[in-house]
Chain A
Amino acid sequence: MSRLLVHNPGFLTTVQDAGRPGQAHLGISASGAADGVALRIGNWLVGNAENAAALEMTLVGGTFEFDAEVIVSLTGSSFEAAVEGISLEPWRAYHLKAGSTLKVGPTHSGARCYLCVRGGFDVPKFLGSASTHLFTGLGGYEGRPLKKGDELVIGTNTRTEPVNRAVSFDFIRRLYASEPLRVTWGPQRDFFPEEAQKLFLSSKFHVLENSNRMGLRLHGPVIQRRSSEMITEGTPLGAIQIPQDGQPIILFVEHQTTGGYPKIANVIAADIHRVGQLRPRDKVQFALVTFEQARRIHLDQEAALRKHLEDLR
C-alpha cells in the first residue's frame, strides 16, 4: 500500500472527486472539484477513471512525499512545481521514483490546480463520494483541508501503459479563454428592471476575498431589483443571485441547495470550470447566450475534449 505524506499542505488543499450528486433533497450539494475539467484531464493523464479522487490545491500548493513509485499529473492553473529541483509542467504525466518529494508553490495563473496520482486517493466515501464538503466538514480526508503530517493512501490501479502523455497548450488555452462568463437568464430575471439587466451584462465586477467553494462574491455597480421578497426555491450550480445590497453572488460547487435571493442569471455548464479558476480581485464579465446556444457550446466543448484525448491515446 503506497502513501502520500503531507509535509506542508499549502494554503488550502482538499481531496476532491467528481462530486456527490443525488443528495440535494437532504440539503447537500454535489461539491466535487471546483474545476471539473482539470480533474478529468488530470486523471486521464495518469490512467485513472475520470472521477478518481485527487488533491485540489488553492493559490499556493503544498509539499508531498511519496513512499513508493508513482505516476502523477498537475492540471488546472499553472503552479510552480518541482521534484528534487526539476520543474514539473502542468498538463503532463510524470513518473516519480519512491521517496520523491513534490514541492508545489504559488500559482502563476488561476486559483486552483489538481494533483492526480495513478490509483487515486483512497479515502472513506461519504454518501458515495470522496469529495470534501468544506463548509460542513463532510467527506474527503476527515472533512477538512489537509494538514502537515497527514498520510493519504493511494489506491491500486493495475494499468501499465507507458507514461508520455501530455495535453497541448493550444487546446488548454481554448478551454480557459479569459472571455466573459457565458450565462443564461435566471428564473427571477423579471425581478430586475430592464436597466438593471443591462447594467448586469455590461459591467465589470471583481471577485471579493471572501469568495470560496460555496460561492463567489462579486463587487461592482449595484444591481437594483424590485423590492418583492420571493419564496425560497431550489438553486442550481452557477446561479447568480442578487441579495438586497445588489452585489452578485455566483453559487458554486458547495452551494446552498435552496435560496431566497432572486437569481438574475446562471453560468452555463460549459463555463463552470472557469469559475473554479477565478481568484480574489480577478475581473468578471458576463455574456448572455440562449439555452440552445448554451447546449451547443457544451456539446461542442465536450466533443473537442473527447477527440483531443482520443487522439493522444
Chain B
Amino acid sequence: MTRQVYRLGTGIPSYGEKPIEDGNPQYGLGQPADLPGRQSPPWLRGSPGETRPLTASNEAAQPIGVLDAAGQQAVTPTRLRAGWAGPVLLVVALGVLGQAWLGYRARITGSFSTNLWYLTLCLIFIPSAALVTSRRINDRVRVWFTLYMSLALLATRFVLYPTQFVYHDELINYRVLLSIANSGHLFTRNSLLPAAADYPGMEIATITIHQLTGLSLHSSGIIVLLTVRVIMTLALIRIIQRISKKLTVGCLAALIYATNPQYLLFNSTFAYQSVALPLSFFGVYVFVMRSRSRQLIAIAPAAAVVAAVAVTHHLTSIAVVVVLWAWYLFTLITKRHVSQLLLFAAASTLLVATRLWLVRSDVIPYISGITRNSIATIIAFLSGKSNHKFFTDPTGAHAPAWQVALSIASVLIITSTLVPSLWLAITKRRLLSAAVMVLFTIAALYPIIPVGHLTGAVSEIADRSSGFVFAGLGYVIAAWWFRDFPFHRHGKRGSFTPRRHTWLLIPGLSICFVGGTIIGSGPDWLHGPGAYLVSAENRSVDQLALQAASWEGQNLPPNSRVLTDRVNALLAEVYGNQHVLTSLADGINTNSLSTLLLAPPAPADADVACQANVQYLIADKRLTWSLPHVGAYIDAGEYPNGNRTLPPPPSALAKFNSVPGAERIFDNGATRIYDLEGLPCARKR
C-alpha cells in the first residue's frame, strides 16, 4: 500500500534524515504527494508572465551549498516585477531618518515622541513585510529585503544613540570591553555583573575589529552587532528553508521573528546575548550544512561555533544544548536518524559544561539569584501579595490605551494562529520530522511570554526566552500560512481551519510587531533620549552624570570602593574605573548600605560606611525628584523594606555634608562626591 507522504516543496530530504522505507522522503508539513494538490490561492499563484511562482521557489529547489554541474550557482531570473520595490527601499530609509530626527528633537527639546517612534518603526516594517510577502519579487530579492529590514530596525538603535552605549547591560559589557582593551587579557572581574567577564565572546570580536581597523571601541561594537544581525536573519531563513523547502516560508518566519518582544531593543543592544543568539542559529545552520558527511571531523565547524557560543553567553549556550538533545530525542521517537547529531549534541554538551564548570563560582550565584527572585515573585503573585501592575512602570506611569490594546491584540493574533498550527502538527505528528517537532515544541512555549507578564520579575525572563520561542513560532506560523494542502484530512474546514486571507497577513504582522515591541521594550522612556529621569537607564545618563564619572576616572585612585545609585554605579565602573559595591560581587547587605543614600541622617551612618569600607560615596541629589523608573534606586532589596511610596528626602543625599571626617570633593550641582576615607573608624582600620 502506498503511504501518503506530506511535503511542502521539493523532494529533497533534509537534515540528514534518511528517506522512509518506501522510498518517499517525508519531512515537515505538506501536501499529500499522491493527492492532487489544492490550487493555491490566487495571490500565491504567479501572475501571467511571472517567471517564478511564490510557492515553488527556484532557490528552494536548489540545495544549499550545492553547485550545479558546471560548478556555478544555478542562476535564476532575478528581474524584479514589483514596481514599488524601489520606493520601499526609500521608505525604509526614511523610517531610519525619522528615528534620527526623533533622537535629534528629543535631545534639543527633552521630549521624546513615542507615537512618532512607533510610526517610523512601522515605516520600516510594514512596507518591507508587504514586499517580502509579495509574489512579485523573486526569492533572492526577497531575502535581501528581509535582511535590509532587519538591519534598518537595528540601525534605529544606532541613530538614537550614535556615539555611546547607554543601557544597563550595554554599559556592563562595555566595562568588560574596556578591561580587555586596557589589560590585553580576558576575565578581569567587574563588580556589577561578574558573570559578564566570564563570557567575553562579544568583546573579543569587538576588540579584534578595533585593533585591526583602528575604529573606536563603540564603532567596532556597532560593526559586531550589524554582523551578528546578518547572521541571525540569514541563518534563520536558511534553517527554515531547509525544513520547509521554501524560501518564502523562511522569509516569512524571519518577519514573524522580527515581531518578538526582544528583537528591537534588548537583542539589539551591546550585550552578550545579542551575539550568542545569532551564533547559536549559525551553529545549527553549519551542522545542518555539513551533517551529510559521515566523517567525524564534519561536526568540527559546528562544534567550533558552539564553542564560541559557550564563551559568549551562559543561558544561550545551555539552551543550545537543550535544543540539540531535544532534537536527538525526537529522532529516536520518530525513528529517523540524523547523521552526526548525537556526536554534535555530546560535543556541545561537553564544551558548554566545561565552560560552566570553570566559571561556576560566578554563574551559579547569578542564575540561582534570578531563579530565587522569580520564584518569590510567582509565590507573591499566587498568594495575592504581588504589587505588579500591568502596563505600568514603577513610578506609576501607565501606558496609553492604544498600546495596551495593540499588545493584547498581538498576543491574541499569535495565539489564534499558534493554536491551529499546533493542531495541524498534532494531527500530522506521524509525518513530522524531528527538527520540525523541535520547532513545534519551542513554539508551544509561547504562552510563557504573555503569562510571564503577570509578575514583574518573571516578565523579564519570559521576554528573554522570546529569542528562541519566536524561532519556532516563526516556522510554525509561516509553514501553516503557506500550507498548500487541505488543512483537514478530508478537505473540509473545521474549527481549527480558518481561511487565510491575504489582506490579513500584513495588518496582522504589523500589529504583532508593534504589540510585541510594546510588550518587550519596556516603558516609553526606555526607547530613546530625552530629559533626565530618575533611575531610568538611558535617560539617567546625561552630561552631569558623565562629567562626574569622567572626573572620577581622572582624580580618584582606580578600583576604589564606591557606593552610589544604579546608573552612577554603571558610569563609575565604566568611565570612572572604580569598584562599585554590589551584593553580587562583594556580598554586601544592600538594605543596610543603601541607607547611606536613601535614609534620613542617622547616628549610625559613619559606622555603616566603615563596616563596608566605603571609600567614596557618590550622591546624586536628583534621586529626590521622583520614584525610580526601574523600580530601584540602587538594587533590589534596598532600603526601605517593602514598597516605597515617596522619594528619599533631600537630607538623605546630603547627610555627609556634616559628618566629621567626610570630605565633599566634587560638586556639579547634581552629583556630589564624598571622600569617606577620613571617617574616624576608617582610620582605625
A and B interact: no
A-contacting residues of B (Cβ < 8 Å)?
none
